[in-house]
Amino acid sequence: MKCPTCGCMDSKVIDSRPTENSAIRRRRECLSCKFRFTTYEAVEAAPLFVLKKDGSREVFDKRKILAGLVKSCYKRPVKPEALDALVDDIEAELLNNLRSDVPSTEIGVMVMDRLQKLDEVSYVRFASVYREFKDIDTFLQAINQLRKKN
């Protein structure tokens, strides 16, 4: 850390404390001129963008995924905590990939993979909207694929 007085790049941390806004307050002392100063460290998250099917780009919003899941799980024995965990898991995986742009199709596949393990009926409901099922044959194909996996 560069000393604000003499410009020396060497300092030592005297005290560290967490702050209310998830940052860390550090009290430092310059090893050259002994000047004491305070720095704040915070995690800087890079924004995550979703590339939509129509080519547009928007900021990732996990509430949109959760809203779709809530609709597909309507009157199903799926706990809200399980849906929150599913969405948090997807968000964590996307952030860990270290990419700034993620296609919406990739997110949809991630949701369907996890939802299929959670509740098959909700999976079919979600897939019917996501994959834009056109007729009963498309529904039957999805159901037959589920049967083959079981």
pLDDT at 150: 64
Q: What angle do CA 70, 58, 91 make, to 5 degrees?
A: 50
* pLDDT per residue as tens digits for the range 93-116: 998 888 889 999 999 999 999 998
* Residue 148, SS3 per DSSP: helix
pLDDT at 147: 79
- Joined together, the tokens standing for residue 134 give 């056109």
* pLDDT per residue as tens digits for the range 27-57: 999 999 999 999 999 877 778 999 998 999 9
The reported pTM is 0.64
CB of 58 within 8 A of CB of 44? no
Residues of 61-75 as b/e, b for ≥16 C-beta within 10 angstroms?
eeeebbebbeebbee
